[in-house]
Structures are given as C-alpha cells and as structure tokens.
Amino acid sequence: MSAATNQPPPLVDYNLFEADATLREALEREGAGWAHDWVSELGRLAGTEEAIAWGFQANSNPPQLHTHDRFGNRIDEVEFHPAWHRLMEVAIGHGLHALPWREPRAGAHAARAAGFYVWSQVEGGHGCPVSMTYAAVAALRTQSDLAAEWEPLMTTLDYDPGLRPPAGKRGVLFGMAMTEKQGGSDVRSNTTRATPGQDGEYQLNGHKWFCSAPMCDAFLVLAQAPAGLSCFLLPRVLPDGSRNAFHIQRLKDKLGNRSNASSEIELDDAIAWMVGEEGNGVRTIIEMVNHTRLDCVIGSASLMRQAVAQATHHTAHRSAFGRLLSEQPLMVNVLADMAVESEATTVLMMRLAGAFDRGADPAQSHFRRLALAVGKYWTCKRAIALVAEALECHGGNGYVEESIMPRLYREAPLNSIWEGSGNVNALDVLRAMDREPESVSAFMGEVEQARGSDPRLDRSIDQLKKELTNGAGAEAGARRLVERMAIVLEGSLLVRHGDPQVAEAFAASRLGGDWGHSFGTLPKGLHLASIVQRHRPAT
C-alpha cells in the first residue's frame, strides 16, 4: 500500500492567539492587555487536537428533539452530543457569556471579543447561546427587579444544562424569540399576544418561526400587549417546577450551524414577565440586538481568520508543478489579499468592542450606533466571499467533510442573516443618519483621525463626505453608501493601527482602486510574501 505524499500535516497543537499578531496588537490597543494570559489560554485550548475534534463531533451529531417522554408527557427537550457540552463548558467556564458584566473594567468588552473570536474558530454553532446570554443582560437591566433575580445566574462560570427551576441551578442561559413567519425582520407585524394576568404575569399565545437555542433556561420574547409590541422574559421552567407552555414544533434543518438547535415554537398560555415599558418592546430588546450584532462581526472575523490560517498552512506544505503553492506568485496574491481582508475585519471588530467599553462617552456611543450597523453589513458579506476563496485554495481537499472548510463555508452566511439581513442593516444606517445626525459626526471624526497619513485615504474620505451630503438617504443606493463607509473606516483603522504592509495593500486596492473583482487581484509592487507570513500560523 502506497503512503500518502504531498499532503500537509494537520493544523493542530498551536496557540490561535499567540499566532495572531493582529489580535494581540488590538488587545493592547483597546485597553485589554490585562486579559492577555486569559485569551492566550483559550488560544492554546482552541489549537488542541481534542478541542478541534469536539467541533467535528458536534456537527456530525446534530441535536435531537424529544417532544414527549415514553409515557406521552410533553417535555420539549433537545438532546446534544457530549462534544457540544464540552465546547459549552469551555465557553461558559471562561466567561465568554458574561465577562464585561462580571468584570466591569476598562477593556472588558474588547477582552471578551478577543476570547470569543479565538474560541469560535473551533466551532461556531455553540456561540449562539453564549452570545445571546451575553447580550440579554444589557436588555434585562431595563427591568431592575428581573435583573436582580436573573443576572447572578446569567453571569456565573458554571455550565449547568437541563430544564430545572432556576433557583436550583448553578447557572442559566438565555435565548431570544422575535421573528414570526408572516414578518421576519418586520417584528412590528408580530401577532403573538400577551394577556395580562395576576401579580404582574402575562400569558403569551402565538407562534415563533425562529427561536434560537430552545434548550436555554429563559428567553426574551416580543409579543403584542394591550399598549403595543412589548418585550417579555419567558422561562422554560416556572418557579413551582412545572414546565412552561413553550412547545417546540420542530428543529430547523439548516444550511450550516448544524451543531446548534434552532426551532419553531408554539406558546400556549405561556407565563412571562414584562421587561421595560409596555409598548416599547423594540426599544427594550434593541440593546440585546446591539450586542449580538457585535457578535456577528466577531463571528465573521473568526471565520475569516480560521479560513486564512487553514489556507496559508495548506499552501505552505502542498506542492504543484514543481513548487510549493505558497511560492507561486498568483497563489501568494490570493493569500495576501485574503489576509488583508481578515486583518481589516479583526481591527474593526476590536475597535467596535472598544466603543462598547467606552459607551459612557457620547461620542463613542454615537460612533457605535452607526459603525456597528456599517460593520455588521460589510464584514458579514466579506466573510462569505473569503471563506469560498480559502476553500478553493485547498482544491478538492477543501471540498470534503474531513476538512474544516465545508463547515466554515456553510457557517459564513449565517452572520449576514442573523440580527438583520444586509438590507435591514443598510437601511438601519440610513435611519441612524436621519434620526441621530450626531452619529455621522462621530463616524467621520473617527475616520478623519487618519487624515494626512495616506493620500488615497484622504481622497476616499472627501468622496464619502460628498456622498453623505448629496442624497445619502436614497434607499436604492444604501448598500453602495454603506460599503463605502465600511471601506473608509477600515482604511482609516489600518493606516493608524495595522501592519504597514497590510495597510499599503489595503489602500492601493480598496481605496486606490487598483483592484479586481475577486481575491488575488492586488496590484504590483506590494510586499505580499511578508503579509502572508504575518498571517500564517507557525506550527
């Protein structure tokens, strides 16, 4: 039997954080250097053969729904493979669901972003309940009595799965249920009804088309109360130990994110408590959405980074036509182009997380309002194209399930859809500019910090100013405008903070216009080999 030759070794036993210069630099820059050892430990775990195997196992053995027990009683339970629980134990045990709330110190959101980015490279699906629990705290704090009851359990480092009364658990997880089959992102058209009962309770009746992570302990739900659409906290198990009337109709058979359970649910006089003011449900839950949108950016950056790591590793060990792929000029151009995109996204991700840390500053808050929607739109779009290109770098090897690439490819479109599709986020940018003009000033103030550093960036800033002034609110052109805003913002961040060679390549291609329509079309005269080397994980 002949031995396999010309095959790369597995990309294992390396520290994902220590191998990522862009992330290490950003962690320090955003005031979270104190978390270096914590993120590094996650990076070490993420590179182990055992953790990588958990990711494959959790996706090869998707969750199973059990609506009834063997006696015919309704139980609505979701069963997960042990690998899922191992992934969750690491995530919760390291505080990826709660770090900024447990340690409200400078740089806490940035530190948490770095950790979430590193650990998500192992497996993306289990990040869903982690992300929603992190985000739910922000919304729940609008209702002090419920926050006092639930937040201590939401912020422990104990992963305690299973449906039991919250008072008897070491920790709880939160999900959300907003969208309905007739409305999707148009949540104001929701038909789920909330009827007032006794002692502040409400009874919810209706159907939710997408309920993320139905195995969680509690959910934030939107429903129509007498005074309008409102936000409610709905637990799976009631204080007396009985199961709430939260019935899982089916689990969605999704393109990707297969390790995670997504479901349709029916609420049949389910008991819930109002969060925030009646009739202000969207305003209440928007804080949760803001934080999960940040996680969409983090998730996209994580997918890009892992795809680039896999592609640079593979091509450094695979030969064709007498030379390593990584030595062939056209492949070097492709790899460098993807590395530039990945670095731009990581730098933007950390800057957005830093804006959450500095949210008490009005200028930072206004910047976050606009830049978050801009970043969510653009980075989620770019992740899809980048992962596809990275898969192609592997040839046929990248198209088989034994490679991680098919999973990354299936996962990439999710972040572009979750928490508002591209159009929803592009229109949200227009809405922010119209209702909160201070956000435009804050956004431009950020990009202007790099003025004078690169003439191509200066010209792009001037062009963007014109676009913002002349018909910026035209709905049909919203995507073009948001794309320009994202590229200018990334260019400004890279010129100030990125690797000089990466910044030059970004400016020459994305800002200078010397770029094609696919990856691998960077212009001549750039130091592409050094860019590739910066992004290749050393093993």
Is it the case that residue 469 has pLDDT exceeding 90?
no
- Are 26 and 350 spatial neighbours (Cβ–Cβ below 8 Å)? yes
Is it the case that residue 186 has pLDDT exceeding 90?
no
**pLDDT at res. 418:** 87
**pLDDT at res. 183:** 66
CA dist., res. 250 & res. 267, Å (int): 13
For residue 135, what is the enclosing H or E element? helix 127-140
For residue 74, what is the enclosing H or E element? strand 74-79
- Are 296 and 380 spatial neighbours (Cβ–Cβ below 8 Å)? yes
* Predicted TM-score of the model (pTM): 0.97
**pLDDT at res. 256:** 96
Q: What is the DSSP letter of 10?
A: P
21-279: CATH, from 2.40.128.50, 2.40.110.20, 3.40.190.170, 1.10.645.10: 2.40.110.20
As given in the structure block, the two tokens for residue 128 are 């869903």
The CATH number given to 283-535 is: 1.20.140.10
How many CB atoms are located within 10 Å of the residue 342 CB? 28
Interval 81-109 mean pLDDT? 97
> For the chain, what percent of residues have pLDDT higher than 70?
99
Helix, strand, or coil (residue 67): strand
Residue-level length of the chain? 539
Q: What are phi and psi of 105, to 5 degrees?
A: -120, 170
How do beta strands 228-235 and 201-212 pair?
unpaired
DSSP 261-324: -EEEEEEEEEEEEEESSTT-HHHHHHHHHHHHHHHHHHHHHHHHHHHHHHHHHHHTT-EETTEE
**pLDDT at res. 185:** 72
For residue 79, what is the enclosing H or E element? strand 74-79
Helix, strand, or coil (residue 64): strand
Confidence at 179, pLDDT banded by 50, 70, 90: confident
Which residue, chain included where needed, has tokens 């994110």? 257
**pLDDT at res. 457:** 98
Q: What is the DSSP letter of 167?
A: G
For residue 500, what is the enclosing H or E element? helix 500-506
As given in the structure block, the two tokens for residue 155 are 């912020």
Helix, strand, or coil (residue 535): helix
Is it the case that residue 152 has pLDDT exceeding 90?
yes
Residues 6+ apart with CB under 8 A from 138: 287, 288, 290, 291
CA dist., res. 317 & res. 337, Å (int): 19
Which residue, chain included where needed, has tokens 């939260």? 246
**HEC sequence for 202-267:** EEEEEEEEEEECCCCCEEEEEEEECCEEEEEEEECECCCCCECCEEEEEECCCCCCCCCCEEEEEE
As given in the structure block, the two tokens for residue 318 are 């695979």
Is it the case that residue 187 has pLDDT exceeding 80?
no
**pLDDT at res. 473:** 62
Cα separations in angstroms, 516 against 179, 488, 513, 522: 38, 18, 8, 7
**pLDDT at res. 474:** 82
Looking at the DSSP bridge assignments, the partners of residue 225 are 228
**pLDDT at res. 413:** 97
How do beta strands 174-177 and 218-225 pair?
parallel
CA dist., res. 128 & res. 125, Å (int): 6
- Are 225 and 279 spatial neighbours (Cβ–Cβ below 8 Å)? yes
- Are 236 and 174 spatial neighbours (Cβ–Cβ below 8 Å)? no
Is it the case that residue 182 has pLDDT exceeding 90?
no
Interval 78-102 mean pLDDT? 98
> For the chain, what percent of residues have pLDDT higher than 90?
92
What digits encode the pLDDT tens for the residues 255-284? 999 999 999 999 999 999 999 999 999 999
CA dist., res. 300 & res. 297, Å (int): 5
Residues 6+ apart with CB under 8 A from 96: 112, 115, 116, 119, 127, 130, 134
Through-space distance between the first and last CA atoms of the chain, rounded to whole angstroms: 29
CA dist., res. 323 & res. 149, Å (int): 63
Is it the case that residue 471 has pLDDT exceeding 70?
no
CA dist., res. 451 & res. 429, Å (int): 23
**pLDDT at res. 404:** 97
Interval 343-371 mean pLDDT? 97
As given in the structure block, the two tokens for residue 246 are 């939260």
CA dist., res. 222 & res. 247, Å (int): 16
**pLDDT at res. 419:** 86
The candidate with the shortest Cα–Cα distance to 296, out of 426, 387, 413, is 413
Residues 6+ apart with CB under 8 A from 381: 416, 422
The candidate with the shortest Cα–Cα distance to 535, out of 491, 505, 515, is 505
Helix, strand, or coil (residue 373): helix
Cα separations in angstroms, 54 against 18, 59, 122, 160, 188: 22, 9, 8, 19, 40
What digits encode the pLDDT tens for the residues 297-327? 999 999 999 999 999 999 999 999 999 999 9
For the chain, give every domain's residue range. Answer: 21-279, 283-535
Cβ density class 415-432: b for 16+ within 10 Å, e for less: bbbbbbebebbbbbbbeb
